[in-house]
Amino acid sequence: MIISIIGTVFVTNQVVDLLGDYNYGLFTFVNSITVWLTILSTALNASFVRFATLEKEENGKDCAKTNTIYFKIFIIIGIVVLILGLGIVA
């Protein structure tokens, strides 16, 4: 952990010099959004596995209902991210 902190201190200075203050701020913002979306995706995947398993145990058949619900959630998240991405670029 200490090596990671020391590395970040040295690399951050180089990245700021390379990108400039404004672009470094944008880089940091995009990086944080990416991390949050990764956490959200991981959580949704884990919950999908849980509820798909429960549905399969209860019904003894394919989990089409759970697939449909989670597919819609991922489509909505994708549309929101696309709109926000286009808003940042514009």
pLDDT digits (tens, 9 = 90+) for 46-76: 888 888 888 888 877 777 778 888 889 889 9
Residue pair 23/60 in contact (Cβ under 8 Å)? The answer is: no
- The pLDDT tens digits of the residues spanning 35-49 come to 888 898 888 888 888
Furthest-apart CA pair in the chain: how many Å? 59
Q: What is the pLDDT of residue 90?
A: 59
Enter the pTM of the model.
Answer: 0.60
- Cα angle at 37 between 22 and 67, to 5 degrees? 155
CA dist., res. 90 & res. 86, Å (int) = 6
For the chain, the 3-state helix, strand and coil shares in percent, each to the nearest 5, are: 90, 0, 10
d(CA 16, CA 31): 15
Token pair 């995706």 in the structure block, residue:
41
